[in-house]
Structure 1
Amino acid sequence: MAQERWAQLLEHGRLHGRRDDPFEDAATGRTPFDADYGRIAFSSAFRRLQDKTQVFPLAKSDFTRTRLTHTLEVANVGRGLGKAFGKHLRALGHLPVHLSPDDLGTVVSVACLAHDLGNPPFGHSGEAAIQEWAARHQGLLSAHLSSAEYTDVARFEGNAQSFRIMARLWDRERPGGGRLTLAAYGALLKYPQSSSHPRDRSDCARKKFNYVQADADLAEMVRAALGLTLHQPGHFARHPLVYLMEAADDICYRVVDLEDACDARLITKRRLCELLRPMLPPRFRGQSLDDMERLDVSALRAQVIGELIRAVMAVVHAHLDELREGAFPHALIDAVQHTEPDLYAAFEALGTEAKTRVYTDERVLQVEYAGFKVIGGLLDELLGALPPDLQAGEHLSNSGEKLLKMLPRKYLKVRPDPTFCRLVDTAAPADAARLLTPYERVLTITDYVSGMTDSYALDLYRVLTGVRVP
């Protein structure tokens, strides 16, 4: 019975696509999960992460992590967690016979590769900038959008945009977008609810949301196919592999943000060693800080990550049934506080140090503030080209017409309907805009801006505001 349940949770059929059988290609050994990995790694959305902020926006140093390098590190840790999880299932006799532990490692790493694709320029401050823009235009937007549709924008969420890219925007003219395996989408839905559901900080799955109203049908297809418990419409249980993707992200950003901060001279190497020492394996903890300072930071970081992975997997072993049904209410790393409180306290100290010494640094804040101006300015300009209240026969301003002509036509293809997409291709820009509903126009604006890299957003803002002439 357990094998059957896990076989459903690890379904390799594709969203709006066919199921690949046999599971493994006889000639290459390639599985559908391997194909998922390749689809993301070769995608333009993934490449754009190389110029998106992790912590330090528009950093000059090639040592400093971007979203791309962060994502690759998360995927590596996620693969290890997934493989260890698969070995545990196999030891219990729960792993479906056609799967190996490596397959679970691949599914988790695929979700890790995709988890930040929806982040707008300038990191989390970019999310806040879009939310602030929606609040500033609440009167106009609320007059033409439903309450739930307005909430999608007012609470703009990078996690929801990641799912939107993978399931809707990847190939706009076909249902299912990137058409990954259902297991991969399940492992990506970190907050399996829509924007209209209340947030609950005490439940790891309810802190945010993972899909907008326009993509609710896609999320429901994933839920139903994987057999995830429906709590109420638009609100369902987590997939078990989400917990591993989340843990990989939590471990990586907490540890490596401070490594970058050390390189940026926001904290000393000695201070970093002091913070990492309580999380090192026992054989390292007895070393003096002087001896630790002589070691390469990467060696210390690797040992710390290894210890955190070990602690997380101990939680997994103790709560497997709850994880299988998506009923475990905590992030795995937070549950470590109950099993290894000293290790967890040291992990939390990393976060406290980052909040007080890194995220508040003047260099970071200056660029983040500039990011607010850039993103808000771009959204304002695009609102003039795609106003939600555009009526049939109504003319746009001259500036709005020019900007609409600059907008890549693919962004207007918001419905996976070949007939609709042909109309968009052949219509004049303003007529193409009128084919969209008010909600679709607003999503087009946020899709376009959130997909930009930091540098492109800054350059386009300078051009549109007349600061620089191309």
Structure 2
Amino acid sequence: MKWNKIMPEIGFGAQARAVYAAHPEQSRGRLFVESASPTRTPYQRDRDRIIHSSAFRRLQAKTQVFLYHEGDLYRTRLTHSLEVSQVARSIARALSVDEDLAEALALSHDLGHTPFGHAGERALDLVMQPFGGFDHNAQSLRAVTALEQRYAEHDGLNLSWETLEGLVKHNGPLTDKDGKGIGHYSNGLPYAIRAYAEHQDLMLWSYAGIEAQAAAIADDIAYNAHDIDDGLRAGLISLEQLRSVPMVGGLLEEVDQRYPGLTDVRVVHEIVRRLITRMVEDVIKTSMANLARLSPQSIDDVRNANQTIVCFSTDMEKAVKGIKRFLFDNVYRDERVMRVMRNAEQVLKDLFVRHFEEPDLMPFEWQFDLDGAPEKTVARRVADYVAGMTDRFAILEHRRLFDLTPDLG
């Protein structure tokens, strides 16, 4: 492949890309114009900016399912994102699309998550209802376009158009062609997405490219497999229970027959790695069939395909839904988890209300220019501040500001 003149052929580690891939030399560019790098493609630079961001570092102390202090070996948002990245790259490589873009999207997909996982998101969305609500996907976009303040010339990371498009649309279109929200956003787009749309058109009515679709399904693959691992480690589920779970039960039988007498720890790892392999192989096979059938000749053909191309087969989708139901019933809705999450929600609500009433409790850079500002502006600033907290910092702040902090042990 030949790069154009502004992208010399040094340092890229260029791979063969299919016609339907995102080609870095054809990138639509960045909101703020920058000179091209002589050693990295636009998507490699995006990945690097994401890894060096404050929001990415904070993921190391944000909940996946279990709080940071409940055990050193449970997944955090950071380790989850790294696992998603590995799966996304594998899928992207098999489909001959841009691995660096897929990796950037995988690493950035959870940057907008609050402390305490989805419990924190529910809490912030509730208290923010009078001011437009809170959505972690929109907050991820806000993090990389506004909240990161690392550069002299602009706010945000100034990521390429394709990375921003994939970040906001990895789960599919957000609107119809008339701009009306659809699906999850049928009641309207979140504030952060609407605000950014005033500066750059991300074609919210279309599907994202193959790279974003790969990152999205890699997220499903990673958390389905690894939440089983963490659930077993926490004692919320047992190997015996897994025998009735779609596909997982068959994998357990395979391991039992091949390695009789294997320790439980090794059995768990054998199941998890087999599960990931089966799902990844199914996605690749199904996606290749979809690509052969649709025969897209460009990334725009992918965007206009009116369907998700990177997906599970019908049989695998059924099995994955069964795994999700099992995890929902036996891990996420276990009373031991739910009790902690209810208390975590209260911590986030308390922090929001207190800082909304007294913005000067925030560090100076967060309270700057809020004197006399409209309530909606203050609320959004406080939501940004609280959403960016780690689990640990949120707990410590609550203990500092309140006489009694709910038990999160």
Alignment of 1:308-457 (within 5 A): 308-320=279-291, 321=294, 324-330=302-308, 332-333=310-311, 335-337=312-314, 341=315, 343-386=316-359, 404=360, 406-412=361-367, 424=368, 432-434=369-371, 436-457=373-394
Aligned pair in 2 of structure 1 residues 13, 248: CA closer, same or farther (>3 Å)? same
Tell whether the 8 Å contact from 2:24 to 2:43 is kept in structure 1 after alignment. Answer: no
* 1:200 is aligned to 2:174: no
Equivalent of residue 162 in structure 2, options 176, 179, 183: 183
Tell whether the 8 Å contact from 1:176 to 1:218 is kept in structure 2 after alignment. Answer: no
Match of 2:55 in 1: 45
What TM-score do you get using the length of structure 1 for normalisation? 0.70
What TM-score do you get using the length of structure 2 for normalisation? 0.80
| Deviation, structure 1 residue 56 | 1.5
Amino acid at match of 1:329: Q
| Deviation, structure 1 residue 50 | 1.3
| Deviation, structure 1 residue 351 | 0.8
Instruction: Determine the C-alpha separation between the residues in 1 that align with 2:263 and 2:20.
Output: 51
The C-alpha deviation readout for 1:227-283, integer Å capped at 9, x for no partner, is x4xxxxx64443332211110001111111111000111111243366475587899
| Deviation, structure 1 residue 377 | 0.6
The C-alpha deviation readout for 1:335-358, integer Å capped at 9, x for no partner, is 421xxx1x3333222111111111
Which blocks of at least 5 consecutive residues in structure 1 are unaligned? 87-100, 139-149, 229-233, 387-403, 413-423, 425-431
Equivalent of residue 213 in structure 2, options 243, 250, 261: 243
Amino acid at match of 2:125: Q
Which blocks of at least 5 consecutive residues in structure 2 are unaligned? 1-17
Match of 1:400 in 2: none
Tell whether the 8 Å contact from 2:207 to 2:307 is kept in structure 1 after alignment. Answer: no
* 1:261 is aligned to 2:231: yes
Tell whether the 8 Å contact from 1:280 to 1:303 is kept in structure 2 after alignment. Answer: no
Match of 1:118 in 2: 112
Instruction: Determine the C-alpha separation between the residues in 1 that align with 2:335 and 2:83.
Output: 27
Instruction: Determine the C-alpha separation between the residues in 2 that align with 1:238 and 1:370.
Output: 37
Amino acid at match of 2:86: N
Tell whether the 8 Å contact from 2:46 to 2:159 is kept in structure 1 after alignment. Answer: yes
Aligned length: 373
- Superposition RMSD on alpha carbons, in Å? 3.3
Instruction: Determine the C-alpha separation between the residues in 2 that align with 1:277 and 1:4.
Output: 32
Aligned pair in 2 of structure 1 residues 278, 299: CA closer, same or farther (>3 Å)? closer
| Deviation, structure 1 residue 461 | 1.3
Tell whether the 8 Å contact from 2:59 to 2:77 is kept in structure 1 after alignment. Answer: yes
- Percent of aligned positions with the same letter in both sequences? 27
Stretch of structure 1 that moved more, 30-39 or 259-268: 30-39
The C-alpha deviation readout for 1:67-103, integer Å capped at 9, x for no partner, is 11111101111111111222xxxxxxxxxxxxxx5xx
Equivalent of residue 69 in structure 1, options 57, 79, 87: 79
Aligned pair in 2 of structure 1 residues 16, 336: CA closer, same or farther (>3 Å)? same
